[in-house]
């Protein structure tokens, strides 16, 4: 038997301790299936200190159960997700946004629809904390993106008790339920950043929370006009499986955005185009069993948008229901459309300023 | 289920309707709201794909349970 040195023994004991702590978290049902960082007191204190308010400050309340999310509880889950304290203000702002009744975060997390809160972080903070707005945007590899999104899920699970099969009845869920957080790309973006368009003062970053129902890749390498590129996006938005009165998130690839931006199109023009094109006829909707009078009346009744065409169901109620911005790597004609959870039961994306400590 | 228990707290007798696949979340929600033995109407799942006539039949099937929970039969 080999002789174990003192240093090796200490290292092994430390490793075993970490493993036991990790297993303890599994036994308590605190994980998303992946190992978590043990939320030791010093780590949690460091996380809470990233917000100047007292640890017991309530930042969100579950509308159906009345369960509270305190800064302390948020910090515990941020630690477990692997967040650094610098990321904490993003997580806090995300829950402040989701706490508004219009977001309906009980419904959107409990429903069979299986949506996940997509967080789109916009502004200078994204670079400061090292978020990824570039290549492999929705994929793994960036600590801030991965752990802020993961902490969101752990809070829903551990604080608000949205437990699969019990209070979370997602039929299939979606991969974003592990983590669904991106940064908006500012480099080469011809349009005002979301935080600017949302009206925040210069230098203020924001997070937009959206109940996202999955991910639809929009491939178009041949189109070289705004109409061609956006027509393929609109088709994805209006496919029979996705079309509802719900909102939309569209993240344009830089290649696609260059075509649109170079042609002088504004965000508003692109929104108008997508809204007018993302539609299905009443006959077609009836054929697949998805037509409902009340939805048609909602879209075409009093206050209907001028672009809502008679005889058609459009995606969303107005062009402003479509969030569009840019993200991803320089190469590739791959944009994406992310459908929403139910408009019928009320789920409207919300944004909040990220307050630096 | 949450709505049903909220009505009950306000003194309004309520018959919540739950389809059988939602009994676990329904029971959990009732427990969280402080109604651990909450009685509700159990209905076959699904409902959303039924036509108007089928919905009427389901309602007629559920009626005795509704009346019983409301203490009317």
DSSP A124-179: THHHHTT---STTTTSS--HHHHHHHHHHHHHHHHTS---BTTTB--SS--GGGT-
User: How far apart (Å, rounded) are the C-alpha atoms in residues A175 and A29?
Assistant: 20
> pLDDT confidence of A14, banded at 50, 70, 90?
low
| pLDDT at site A3 | 45
Q: Is A166 on the interface with B (CB under 8 A)?
A: yes
pLDDT at res. A7: 57
Q: How many domains does chain B have?
A: 1
- pTM of the full structure: 0.91
The alpha carbon of residue B24 is apart from the nearest alpha carbon of chain A, in Å, by 5
Q: Could you give the percent of chain A with pLDDT greater than 70?
A: 95
Distance between CA B30 and CA A342 in Å, rounded?
24
Which pLDDT tens digit goes with each residue over B19-71? 988 898 888 888 888 898 899 999 999 988 898 999 999 999 999 999 999 98
3-state secondary structure of A100: coil
Instruction: Report the C-alpha gap between A100 and A114 in whole angstroms.
Output: 20
Region A216-226: what's the mean pLDDT? Answer: 97
Of B2, B21, B24, the CB nearest to A166: B24
Identify any residues that bridge with A116 across adjacent strands, giving them in sequence order: A212
Which residues in chain A have their CB less than 8 angstroms from residue B29's CB?
Answer: 64-65, 167
Indicate the burial class of A41 (C-beta count within 10 angstroms; 0-12, 13-18, 19 or more): exposed
CA-CA distances (angstroms) from residue A353 to A42, A94, A211, B49? 28, 9, 18, 41
Rounded to an integer, the average pLDDT of A188-201 is 98
pLDDT confidence tier of residue A8, bands split at 50, 70 and 90? low
Mutate to test the interface with B, among A107, A164, A166 (most CBs of B within 10 A): A166
With the C-alpha atoms ordered A9, A11, A13, A15, is the resulting torsion angle positive or negative? negative
Nearest-angstrom CA–CA distance, A294 and B19: 24
C-alpha torsion angle, residues A17, A20, A22, A28 (rounded to 10): -140
- Percentage of chain A surpassing pLDDT 90? 83
Q: What is the mean pLDDT of chain A?
A: 93
Helices (H), A28-59: 41-48
pLDDT above 90 (res A173) = yes
C-alpha distances in Å from residue A42, one per residue of A71, A139, A202, A257: 15, 31, 35, 45
Range of the domain at B13: 2-69
Length of chain B: 73
């Amino acid at each position: 038997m080999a002789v174990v040195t003192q240093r090796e023994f200490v290292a092994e004991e430390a490793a075993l301790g970490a493993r036991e702590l990790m297993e303890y978290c599994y036994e308590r049902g605190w994980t998303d299936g992946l190992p978590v960082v043990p939320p030791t007191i010093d780590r949690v204190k460091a996380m809470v200190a990233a917000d100047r308010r007292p640890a017991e400050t309530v930042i969100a309340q579950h509308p159906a159960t009345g369960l509270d999310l305190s800064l302390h509880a948020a910090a515990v889950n941020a630690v477990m997700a692997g967040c650094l304290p610098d990321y904490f203000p993003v997580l806090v702002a995300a829950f402040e946004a989701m706490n508004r009744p219009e977001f309906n975060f009980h419904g959107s997390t409990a429903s069979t629809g299986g949506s996940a809160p997509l967080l789109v972080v916009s502004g200078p903070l994204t670079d400061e904390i090292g978020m990824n707005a570039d290549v492999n945007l929705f994929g793994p590899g960036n600590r801030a993106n991965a752990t802020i999104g993961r902490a969101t899920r752990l809070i829903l699970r551990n604080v608000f008790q949205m437990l699969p099969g019990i209070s979370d009845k997602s039929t299939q869920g979606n991969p974003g339920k592990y983590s669904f957080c991106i940064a908006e790309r500012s480099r080469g973006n011809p349009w005002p950043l979301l935080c600017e368009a949302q009206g925040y003062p210069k230098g203020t970053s924001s997070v937009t929370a959206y109940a996202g129902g999955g991910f639809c890749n929009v491939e178009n390498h041949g189109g070289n006009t705004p109409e061609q590129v956006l027509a393929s996006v609109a088709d994805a938005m209006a496919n029979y499986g996705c079309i509802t009165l719900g909102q939309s998130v569209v993240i344009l690839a830089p290649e696609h955005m260059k075509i649109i931006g170079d042609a002088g199109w504004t965000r508003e023009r692109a929104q108008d185009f997508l809204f007018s094109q993302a539609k299905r006829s009443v006959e077609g909707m009836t054929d697949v069993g998805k037509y409902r009078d009340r939805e048609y009346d909602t879209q075409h009744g009093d206050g209907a948008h001028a672009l809502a065409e008679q005889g058609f169901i459009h995606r969303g109620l107005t062009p402003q229901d479509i969030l569009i911005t840019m993200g991803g790597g320089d190469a590739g004609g791959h944009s994406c459309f992310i459908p929403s959870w139910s408009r019928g039961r009320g789920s409207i994306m919300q944004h909040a300023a990220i307050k630096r400590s | 289920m949450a709505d049903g228990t909220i009505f009950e707290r306000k003194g309004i007798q309520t018959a919540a309707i739950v389809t059988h696949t939602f009994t676990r979340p329904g029971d959990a929600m009732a427990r969280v709201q402080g109604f651990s033995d909450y009685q509700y109407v159990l209905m076959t799942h699904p409902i959303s794909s039924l036509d108007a006539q089928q919905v009427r039949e389901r309602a007629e099937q559920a009626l005795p349970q509704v009346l019983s929970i409301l203490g009317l039969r």
